[in-house]
Amino acid sequence: MTHPFLALTESDREEMLRTIGVASVGELFRDVPEGVRFGRELDLEPALSEQEVYAHVAELAARNADASRELSFLGAGMYDHYVPAVVDAILQRGELLTAYTPYQPEMSQGVLQAIFEYQTAICELTGMDVSNASGYDGTSVAADACYIAKHATGRGKVVVTEATNPQVRQVVKTYAAGFGLETVEVPHRDGVTDPDEVERAAAGAAAVIFQQPNFFGCLEPAPELVARAADAGALPVAHVDLLSLGVLEAPARYGAAIALGEGQPAGNFPSFGGPHYGFLAAREEFIRRMPGRIVGETLDTEGERGYVLTLQTREQHIRREKATSNITTNQTLLALGGLVYLTWLGPQGLRELGETCLSLAAHAKQRLEERAGLEPVFADQPTFKEFAVRVGRNAREVVAAARERGVHPGYALGRDYEGMDDVLLVAVTERRTPEEIDRLADVLAEVAR
C-alpha cells in the first residue's frame, strides 16, 4: 500500500528507474558499502493512520495538567499570558508556515517584510538601533551576547547577577566554556543587586548581564547597574520582559549596550518549554558583530522598495570559522507570532497590560498577607508581575498540596537558590482575576505554614 505522504505509483517508479538506468530502487544504494548497510527492519511500532495517531497523541496530551486544567500562578520565566486568535490564524498560513529562510528575496518578500517589522518592534520596545531576526530562546541569546562582548572588548570573563534566571546562567556557563570565558556571579542582597558589587566584579569583564525585572520579580536599580558596568568598561546587557516595556524604561535609554530576553510571554504558548523566540537587540556600533539573520531594506531594479537578508558576511555560510555565530535556522515563525501579538496589543494595549499585571500582582501580594498570613520575602522592593513569599514550610510540599486542590501556586525557589526552601515565586498575569487570586489565598491559607 502506498503511503499518504508519497506520490509515486508503481508505473511511475518503473519509468523513473528506466530513465535512471537501474533495475531496482535497491541498486540506487550501490555506493553504500556492504559493511554499513542496515540489515534489518527498523524496530519501530507499526505505522499509524492520521486518525490513530490523533487518538494516541491526544491521549498523551490529556495526561498533562496544563493551565486550562489547573489555576496556575506558575511563572519563573514562562508565563500564561493570553495569545489572541489572530496569532494562530496568521501562523497557520501555509505560505509562511512551510517556507524556509528567505534566501531568495523575490520568493520571500512576505517573511522578509515581516522580519523587518519585527526588528522595528523590538527596537521600539528596547530603544536599541538593531535587532536580529531572533535567536533560539531567552537563554541562548544571552550566550550570544557574551560572544559579541568577548570580541568587542577582548576581555576574558563575563559577570552574571545571581538574580538572573538560573537557566540563563546555566546556558551562559555552558557556552562560555567553549568561548574561553570565565563566568562570575554577583549575589543578590535582599532580592536585588548591589551596584557596588557589580562595579567590583565588572573590572576586566567583557559584559555584565542582569535581568529586569529580575528572577524574583523585583525591579533592579537598572540605571545604576548599567552605569557601574560601563564605568568598568564592560558591556551592560539587560535581560528584559517585553511585556514590562509599556511601563518600564527602554534599556537603551538607561545606557544598556545590548537588550535581550525570552519572547514567549509576547505571543507564544508556553508549550512545555518551546519552541519560542529569543530576541536580541543592540546599539548601532555592534551591528557587524550581531549573530544570525538581519533583514534590511533596499530597492529593486525598478526602484521599488524591497527587503533582503543583509550584512551576511557576518554569518557562517560566508565567514565559516570566523562567523559571529553558528546560527542558521532561528525562530522566525515564533518571532512572527511575537510581531502579530505586539501589533494586536499596540502601544496602548502594552501599557494597559503592564498596568494590569502591576495591579493584580500587588493585589495578590496583599491578599496573601491578609487571608493567608504570608509575607513577601523582599517586602521593600517594588515588583512587576511576580513576587516571592515565604510559605512557612517546604515550598515543594506546598505546591503539591495546593495542586491537590486544583491550584498551582507558583515556583519553589529552593529548586535553584540555597536557603529558599520555604519560598514560593508567584506569577500573576492579566489572565488571572481577583476572584482567582482569592482562591489562591484561601488554598495557601489551608496548606502553607
Q: Which residue in the set 156, 204, 255, 306 belongs to the binding site for other proteins (CB under 8 A)?
A: 306
Closer to other proteins by CB, 208 or 327: give it: 327
**Shortest spacing between CB 257 and other proteins, in angstroms:** 17
Would you give the distance in Å from CA 271 to the centre of its chain?
12
Q: Which residue in the set 218, 257, 259, 308 belongs to the binding site for other proteins (CB under 8 A)?
A: 308
**Shortest spacing between CB 185 and other proteins, in angstroms:** 14
Residue 323: C-alpha distances to residues 151, 289, 314, 315, 340 (Å): 11, 9, 5, 5, 31
What one-letter code names the amino acid at 115? Answer: I
Q: Give the orientation angle of helix 332-372 with respect to helix 434-447, to 10 degrees.
A: 60
Size of the site for other proteins (CB under 8 A): 207
Closer to other proteins by CB, 46 or 154: give it: 46
Rounded to 5 degrees, φ, ψ at 345 are -65, -50
Site membership for other proteins, residue 20 (CB under 8 A): yes
Q: Which residue in the set 187, 196, 285, 400 belongs to the binding site for other proteins (CB under 8 A)?
A: 400
Closer to other proteins by CB, 41 or 419: give it: 41
Kindly indicate which of the ranges 13-21, 152-160, 185-193, 386-394 contains the residues binding other proteins, using the contact rule CB under 8 A. Answer: 13-21
Question: Which residues 6+ apart lie within 8 Å of 332 measured at CB?
Answer: 101, 111, 115, 133, 134, 293
Instruction: Tell the burial category of 99 from Cβ atoms under 10 Å away from its Cβ (0-12, 13-18, 19+).
Output: middle
Q: Is the separation of the CB atoms in 192 and 225 below 8 Å?
A: no
Mask for 29-68, x = binds other proteins (CB under 8 A): xxxxx-xxxx--xxxxxxxxxx--xx-xxxxxxxxxxxxx
Q: Which residue in the set 10, 23, 154, 301 belongs to the binding site for other proteins (CB under 8 A)?
A: 301
Q: Which residue in the set 120, 200, 203, 285 belongs to the binding site for other proteins (CB under 8 A)?
A: 120
**Shortest spacing between CB 86 and other proteins, in angstroms:** 6
Q: Which residue in the set 325, 386, 422, 426 belongs to the binding site for other proteins (CB under 8 A)?
A: 325
Site membership for other proteins, residue 23 (CB under 8 A): no
Q: Which residue in the set 159, 327, 440, 447 belongs to the binding site for other proteins (CB under 8 A)?
A: 327
Question: Would you list the DSSP string of 187-232?
Answer: -EETTEE-HHHHHHHHTT-SEEEEEES-TTSBPP-HHHHHHHHHHT
Closer to other proteins by CB, 170 or 394: give it: 170
**Shortest spacing between CB 150 and other proteins, in angstroms:** 11
Q: Is the separation of the CB atoms in 402 and 444 below 8 Å?
A: yes
Range 401-440, binding other proteins (CB under 8 A): 403, 408, 411, 430-431, 433-434
CB atoms within 10 A of CB 346: 11
What one-letter code names the amino acid at 100? Answer: Y
Q: Is the separation of the CB atoms in 129 and 282 below 8 Å?
A: yes
Site membership for other proteins, residue 285 (CB under 8 A): no
Mask for 356-395, x = binds other proteins (CB under 8 A): x-xxx-xx------------------x-------------
Site membership for other proteins, residue 348 (CB under 8 A): yes
Range 181-200, binding other proteins (CB under 8 A): none
**Shortest spacing between CB 255 and other proteins, in angstroms:** 12
**Shortest spacing between CB 148 and other proteins, in angstroms:** 13
What one-letter code names the amino acid at 354? Answer: G
Q: Is the separation of the CB atoms in 395 and 421 below 8 Å?
A: yes
Q: What's the grid cell of residue 66?
A: 496544563
Give the span between the Cα atoms of 118 and 295, in whole angstroms: 10
Give the span between the Cα atoms of 364 and 234, in whole angstroms: 38
Q: Which residue in the set 197, 352, 397, 421 belongs to the binding site for other proteins (CB under 8 A)?
A: 352
Range 207-226, binding other proteins (CB under 8 A): 219, 222-223
Determine the 3-state secondary structure of 402 from DSSP: helix
Kindly indicate which of the ranges 195-203, 320-328, 371-379, 386-394 contains the residues binding other proteins, using the contact rule CB under 8 A. Answer: 320-328
Give the span between the Cα atoms of 26 and 14, in whole angstroms: 13
Kindly indicate which of the ranges 233-241, 249-257, 387-395, 440-448 contains the residues binding other proteins, using the contact rule CB under 8 A. Answer: 249-257
